[in-house]
């Protein structure tokens, strides 16, 4: 009796095995592939160091220290000159002169007119910017050449360390270049009236 059941069990298992072979031969899709997970590639756009935050820092300085009803001291203008110079001197040929546009709210009316004309003329030139060119600027020292709170005029010389990049970021060179910042009090608020780069060192 036991042999009979063992024989039936073997025949049954063989039948199941045969069904499995038929299924894999005729019905299983061998072309089906597991979904391929492509790792996310993060791209990073290199911008000159400190460029993005400088306008915000200057705005905070102006709002907190250079209000019309507050007595402004030399330290206030020194800090503003340094922050302005760093933003003014940091740019790339792919940013459409955004560094100058961002600083217009800190310029006198005379310098705003110059900025509008300068940006317009350079954009209309449509120079080739397919190869990246950028410059970063860091203020290392400031010298007050003139300060008259009553007249509302001041001049500050800012010593700058600048870094020039062409193409790849590892193709860079550093140089020193000072800038003279002139302030004027306009409608009770201190504004940058002139900014002149000096010769490279």
CATH code: domain of residue 142: 3.10.450.230
In a domain, 45, yes or no: no
In a domain, 106, yes or no: yes
- The crossing angle, in degrees rounded to 10, of helices 74-88 and 51-65 is 160
pLDDT of residue 26: 56
Please give the average per-residue pLDDT across 95-122, as a whole number. 95
In whole numbers, what is the pLDDT of the chain averaged over residues? 79
Choose among 8, 21, 14, 186: nearest CA to 106.
186
In a domain, 194, yes or no: yes
Distance CA 59, CA 66 (A): 10
In a domain, 155, yes or no: yes
In a domain, 12, yes or no: no
Please give the average per-residue pLDDT across 89-95, as a whole number. 92
In a domain, 83, yes or no: yes
pLDDT of residue 5: 62
Please give the average per-residue pLDDT across 73-96, as a whole number. 93
State which residues form the domain around 91: 51-200
The answer to whether residue 54 scores a pLDDT higher than 80 is no
The size of the chain, in residues, is 201
Please give the average per-residue pLDDT across 16-35, as a whole number. 56
Least confident of 14-18, 40-44, 84-88, 118-122: 40-44
In a domain, 180, yes or no: yes
Residue 130 banded pLDDT, cuts 50, 70, 90:
confident
Which one is predicted more confidently, 111 or 8? 111
Q: How many domains does the chain have?
A: 1
Task: List pLDDT tens digits, range 158-201.
Answer: 999 999 998 866 778 999 999 999 999 999 999 999 999 999 98
In a domain, 60, yes or no: yes
pLDDT of residue 97: 92
The answer to whether residue 44 scores a pLDDT higher than 60 is no
């Amino acid at each position: 009796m036991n042999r009979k059941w063992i024989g039936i069990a073997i025949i049954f298992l063989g039948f199941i095995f045969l069904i499995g072979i038929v299924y894999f031969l005729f019905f299983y899709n061998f072309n089906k592939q597991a979904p391929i997970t492509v790792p996310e590639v993060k791209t990073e756009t290199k911008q000159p160091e400190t460029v993005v935050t400088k306008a915000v820092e200057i705005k905070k300085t102006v709002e907190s220290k250079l209000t019309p009803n507050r007595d402004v001291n030399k330290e206030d203008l020194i800090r503003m000159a340094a922050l302005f110079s760093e933003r003014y001197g940091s740019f790339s040929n792919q940013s459409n002169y955004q560094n100058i546009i961002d600083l217009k709210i800190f310029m006198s009316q005379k310098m705003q007119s110059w900025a509008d004309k300068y940006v317009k003329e350079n954009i209309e030139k449509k120079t080739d910017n397919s190869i990246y060119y950028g410059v970063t600027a860091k203020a290392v020292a400031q010298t007050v050449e003139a300060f008259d709170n009553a007249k509302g005029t001041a001049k500050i010389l800012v010593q700058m360390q600048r870094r020039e990049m062409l193409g790849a970021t590892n193709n860079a060179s550093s140089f020193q270049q000072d800038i003279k910042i002139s302030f004027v009090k306009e409608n009770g608020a201190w504004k940058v009236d002139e900014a002149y780069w000096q010769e490279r060192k």
